[in-house]
Structures are given as C-alpha cells and as structure tokens.
C-alpha cells in the first residue's frame, strides 16, 4: 500500500506538530483511492485537544463530524472517497506503534459502527530542521499490520 500526502496536507501536519510541541497530537486521514493500492490523502483533521507528552487520546465525536462533512462533499462515493485511518505524533517516542496504538487500531477496525475494511496508522514527528518524519502501517482484519510506503510531495518531508 502507498499513501500519498500532498504538500498542503504535510504542511498542515508540520504546523500541527509545531503547535503541539512536546505534546502528542493527532486526527484522522480521509482520502481517495486513485488506483489499486494507492491512496491520496485529501484531508487530515487536527484534533482540538492535544494529548500529553506520552499519550494521545482520540476524540471519536470530532472524527465523526469531519467524516460526515467529507462524505457530503464527495457525494457519498464510499468506494472512491473514504476514511483512511488515523495519525498522531510521537514527539519524544520512537516512530513505531506502541502497544496502545496497536490496540486502538484493532478496536477501530473491529468496530462495526466504523465499517472500515482497513485502517492506516501514520505516526509523525519533526526532525531538528522541522521536516516531517513518518512511519505508517496498515491494519487489515485477520492479518498482521504491514508497512505502508508514504510518498510525500513536500520539501518538509523526510522518509523514516
């Protein structure tokens, strides 16, 4: 799987990480399947309440509101435009999913009210030059998480 992050979205994420500083922050990813195995991120929400230095707490209500608006804007074409997954920062932790991150992603995937066939977890931090560092995994029911190739369209992006 490949996840394409346009410059405007990566710039938004860099700004969110700068604002959050040492606290974790996050949101959801919404986008479009542009061809088999390739997904373009159209929007990344930034949750209004940031986390602590070691933990990010999801706000499902905020995510549901953003998804409803996104679906209205894309004509409810769920085969093409949909929820892609979650993102959050690890400003002081390694760029890899924690035990809690794995548990959260599995709970999203098995939540029948979400209805997701897969869910991406994008973990971000900033390097000393304020460039994005990324790690991404995709979760699919019945399979172990696998790595996602992140393709950035920004000068502020560095592949981890």
pLDDT in tens, 104-148: 999 999 988 888 899 999 999 999 998 899 999 999 999 999 999
Q: In terms of residue numbers, what domain contains 47? A: 2-136+144-159
Q: Is 133 exposed, middle or buried (0-12, 13-18, 19+ CB in 10 A)?
A: middle
In the chain, the number of structural domains is 1
Full-model pTM = 0.89
Cα separation, 70 vs 64, whole angstroms: 10
**CATH code for the domain of 45:** 3.40.140.10
Cα separation, 145 vs 86, whole angstroms: 14
Cα separation, 16 vs 38, whole angstroms: 25
In sequence order, what E strands does 1-156 have?
2-5, 26-35, 38-44, 81-89, 118-126, 132-140, 146-147, 149-152
């Amino acid at each position: 799987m490949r996840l394409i992050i346009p410059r405007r979205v990566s710039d938004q994420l860099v700004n969110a990480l700068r604002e959050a500083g040492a606290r974790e922050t996050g949101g959801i990813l919404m986008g479009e399947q542009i061809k088999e195995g390739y997904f373009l991120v159209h929007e990344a929400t930034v949750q209004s309440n940031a986390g602590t230095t070691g933990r990010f707490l999801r706000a499902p209500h905020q995510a549901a509101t953003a998804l409803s608006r996104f679906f209205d804007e894309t004509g409810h074409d769920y085969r093409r435009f949909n929820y892609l997954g979650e993102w959050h920062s690890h400003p002081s932790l390694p760029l890899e999913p924690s035990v809690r991150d794995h548990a959260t992603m599995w709970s999203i995937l098995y939540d029948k009210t979400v209805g997701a066939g897969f869910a991406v977890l994008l973990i971000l931090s900033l390097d000393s030059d304020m460039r994005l560092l990324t790690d991404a995994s995709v979760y699919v029911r019945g399979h172990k998480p696998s790595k996602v190739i992140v393709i950035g369209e920004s000068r502020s992006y560095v592949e981890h």
